[in-house]
Amino acid sequence: MANFLNNILFIFQRLNWLSVLDILLVTLIFFVVLYSLRDTQAMVLLRGVIFLVVALVLLTTLVELPAFSWLIQSMLPALLLSIPVIFAPEIRRALERIGRAGTFVPVTTQTADEHTQKALHAVVEAAARLSARQHGALIVIQRQDNLDQYIETGVQMRANVTPELLLQIFYPDTPLHDGAVIIADGRIVAAACVMPLSASGVLNRSPERQMGLRHRAALGISEVSDAVSVVVSEQSGSISISHAGRMIRRIDPERLENILSAFFRPDATTPQRVWLKRYFPYLFKRKDE
């Protein structure tokens, strides 16, 4: 015990402000990597890789196996080169987040003008009426990130946002009811758009696992962009909202309107706030929800 305390004291005696900064930087990098991989299939792969590496190190260290050690040392460069291939989607997503975080001058400025507020009010009213009728719907509202690649997958509309138009689009068995409606600058730009599906485990851990493609698409577009998605369940009629890879379920129309107003007020889309909400969403949970 005395030797252990002496070793601890020796380590603290050698610490200086550069050593503390070094440790903090390494901790921050690990925190950002693990936080970016949370609730994804990559976390399972990462645990498998760590377990495999630890097992190989212990096996080659504790037991003298020259041929096996040579094989592992020869395979190590190939394993390191395979990591970018295995984690390619997660690396791409992390780089996109860093790119969005580094944008200190917004490309387009969302303002809570009268036109935008009318569009948000129309979305809330349509969601309430769709919920009462149990008609499934997915409405994606663009913020700063451009959604042109998803708009091109749908039917171009360029129409004003009205509850009646949204009700007609999502009426069952109509040509446009499948897919998502994308709203940008207070107008419906396209309908029947194809959204990326989420690969995270957020929905799998939900008490109710009957949520289908609409909810996965809502989470998926929120993971690759800063868009806000409003989902109406076809089975239960419940309203959900998704942003930054998180979903709030079973909300009433009044709360939905409050959340949308918080997202689209002038200070909600400043680059600094976007960066903080991307990596520390819980700091804004009480205010925006």
Residue 195 pLDDT greater than 90, yes or no? yes
pLDDT (average), residues 101-129: 70
Residue 283 pLDDT greater than 60, yes or no? no
Q: How confident is the model over 121-157, as pLDDT tens digits?
A: 999 999 999 999 999 999 999 988 888 889 999 999 9
Task: Name the CATH superfamily for 114-288.
Answer: DNA integrity scanning protein, DisA, N-terminal domain (3.40.1700.10)
Please state which of the ranges 107-111, 138-142, 173-177, 197-201 shows the lowest mean pLDDT. 107-111
List the one residue out of 39, 106, 120, 114 whose CA is nearest residue 273: 106
Nearest 5 degrees, angle CA 114-CA 258-CA 206?
Answer: 135
Contact 167, 136 (CB under 8 A): no
Q: How confident is the model over 74-94, as pLDDT tens digits?
A: 877 777 777 777 666 666 666
Residue 5 pLDDT greater than 90, yes or no? no
Helix (H) or strand (E) holding 140: strand 137-141
Contact 191, 213 (CB under 8 A): no
Residue 182 pLDDT greater than 70, yes or no? yes
Residues 241 and 75: their CA atoms lie apart, in Å, by: 46
pLDDT band per the 50, 70, 90 thresholds, residue 66? confident
pLDDT (average), residues 156-181: 92
pLDDT band per the 50, 70, 90 thresholds, residue 53? confident
Q: How confident is the model over 207-219, as pLDDT tens digits?
A: 545 568 889 899 8
Contact 179, 150 (CB under 8 A): no
Please state which of the ranges 61-70, 76-85, 191-200 shows the lowest mean pLDDT. 76-85
Nearest 5 degrees, angle CA 226-CA 231-CA 232?
Answer: 170
C-alpha separations of 188 from 157, 182, 195, 235 in Å: 6, 6, 16, 25
Beta bridge partners of 262: none
CB neighbours of residue 153 within 10 Å: 14
Are β-strands 180-184 and 155-160 bridged in parallel, bridged antiparallel, or unpaired?
unpaired
Per DSSP, the three-state class of 92 is helix
**Number of alpha carbons in the 13 Å side-chain half-sphere of residue 174:** 16
Percentage of residues in the chain having pLDDT higher than 90: 29
Give the sign of the dihedral formed by CA 249, CA 255, CA 257, CA 262: negative
Average pLDDT value for the chain: 78
Contact 139, 180 (CB under 8 A): yes
Kindly report each contact of residues 86-91 with a partner whose C-beta sits within 8 Å and lies 24 or more positions away, as own/partner.
Answer: 86/45, 86/49, 87/42, 87/45, 87/46, 89/42, 89/199, 90/36, 90/37, 90/40, 90/42
Contact 261, 116 (CB under 8 A): no
pLDDT value at residue 58: 79
Q: Where are the domains of the chain?
A: 2-101, 114-288
Q: How confident is the model over 228-275, as pLDDT tens digits?
A: 999 999 888 899 999 988 888 889 999 999 999 888 876 554 444 444
Max Cα–Cα distance, the chain, nearest Å: 78
pLDDT value at residue 200: 67
Percentage of residues in the chain having pLDDT higher than 70: 72
